[in-house]
Amino acid sequence: MKKNIFKKSLLGIMLPAFFLAQISCAQKSVKTLKTAYKKDFVMGVAIGTEHILEKDAKANEIIKSEFNGITAENIMKAEVIHPQWDKYNFDLSDKFIELGQKNKMYITGHTLVWHSQLPPFIRRNNNKDSVQTFMRNHIATVAGRYAGKIDSWDVVNEALEEDGTLRKSVYLKTLGEGYIQEAFELAAKADPKAALYYNDYNIEQPAKRKGAIEIVKKLKAAGVKIDGVGIQGHWSINTLNLQEIEDAIVDFSKLGVKVAFTELDLTVLPNPWDMKGADVNQSYKNSPQMNPYTAGMPDSVGVVLAQKYEDLFKLFLKHKDSISRITFWGVNDGHSWLNGFPIRGRVNYPLLFDRNYEKKKAYFSVLNLKK
């Protein structure tokens, strides 16, 4: 009898321990994007306010289990973080950093100098001193506050036109082309440890790529710190050009900088005007032809999307030594900015997780490249 009790209590201890061990083993071995690509590059995701405030349990789970990098989709842009001359708004950005630290993630600050999403007082300012003061204060204050906590900064965003010349932004018009160098110098001073990136869309395309190469070369020649080039990667399943992307990876890495794909998504919707890229100021009218999949994405389109993502990630893996990070621009299809850009009110399917947070075929085509 005594023996039996002993046996039972021993079993009582051993069995749960055995099952716990099984569960923790299973947890460890669950393959997710970040575990599968751990040795290759950071797998990042752009997150919005609802994610930073951890309001959405399903999204939280995906962000934490699938990704090891985060970028702030909007809340570190000047119009949000620096709305008035002497007023900064750090509530959400502080929480964004805490979230990244808590989950041991690679944190990207987006973005210090950009012509878009600027506060009204600077948007159309044509006074050199004002714009210079704004830029200096902005970089010193924002990058300074998070010094040592941010892993990389998109220092200058979208400074180029499609032909590779400099964009006629408020910065170029008031400060001249030297503003790019000054922005990088100020960022390096404010946060010496962060990796500093030049970020843009369509810079895989030859003419614009040439412009980006010039920017990197000039900074390097002047002895200014620049660590990488961010290719945004807002592409389409209909026009994805792998050769250009490969050429761009090779060209940029020859300059001695890393390449990151910073805002990856693949639109599945038609763009008959052949509008390439992501100029946020472009917008067009909605119509049934432009919004064909309101009832769901057809399987045939899902297959193409999965194939394009597979092709892309094969290329990324081939060049993994040159690539630091791949960041998806949004958590799931419902969250994607491509439901509103370049036409408002469409239903798009550009990411790896669907509106119900389920993994799409495209998710598995990326994951299964890693055995």
Q: Which residues are catalytic?
A: 158, 263
Minimum Å distance from CB 145 to ligand XIL? 20
Minimum Å distance from CB 157 to ligand XIL? 5
| Residue 337 interacts with ligand XIL (CB under 6 A): yes or no | yes
Within residues 189-218, the interface with ligand XIL by CB under 6 A covers: none
Minimum Å distance from CB 20 to ligand XIL? 42
The residue at minimum Cβ distance from ligand XIL is 337
Q: Using CA atoms in the order 332, 335, 339, 345, what is the torsion angle rounded to 10 degrees?
A: 130
**Strand ranges in the chain using DSSP code E only, listed in sequence order:** 42-47, 69-72, 106-113, 152-157, 195-200, 228-231, 234-236, 258-267, 323-328
| Residue 157 interacts with ligand XIL (CB under 6 A): yes or no | yes
Minimum Å distance from CB 191 to ligand XIL? 20
Residue with tokens 């990326």: 366
Alpha carbon separation from 24 to 3, 27, 199, 359 (Å, rounded): 31, 5, 40, 23
Q: In terms of CB distance, is 157 or 365 closer to ligand XIL?
A: 157
| Residue 74 interacts with ligand XIL (CB under 6 A): yes or no | yes
Q: Which of 32, 68, 232, 322 binds ligand XIL (CB under 6 A)?
A: 232
Q: How many residues of this chain bind ligand XIL (CB under 6 A)?
A: 8
The amino acid occupying position 203 is I
Q: In terms of CB distance, is 113 or 306 closer to ligand XIL?
A: 113
Q: In terms of CB distance, is 68 or 157 closer to ligand XIL?
A: 157
Cα–Cα distance for residue pair 364/359, rounded to 1 Å = 7
Length of the chain: 371
Q: Tell me which residue of 204, 226, 70, 91 sits closest to 149, measured CA to CA.
A: 70
Q: In terms of CB distance, is 60 or 74 closer to ligand XIL?
A: 74
Cα–Cα distance for residue pair 290/322, rounded to 1 Å = 37
Cα–Cα distance for residue pair 235/342, rounded to 1 Å = 13
Q: In terms of CB distance, is 150 or 367 closer to ligand XIL?
A: 150
Minimum Å distance from CB 204 to ligand XIL? 15
Q: Tell me which residue of 186, 164, 253, 180 sits closest to 218, measured CA to CA.
A: 180
- Write out the residues near ligand XIL by the rule CB under 6 A: 73-74, 157, 232, 263, 278, 280, 337
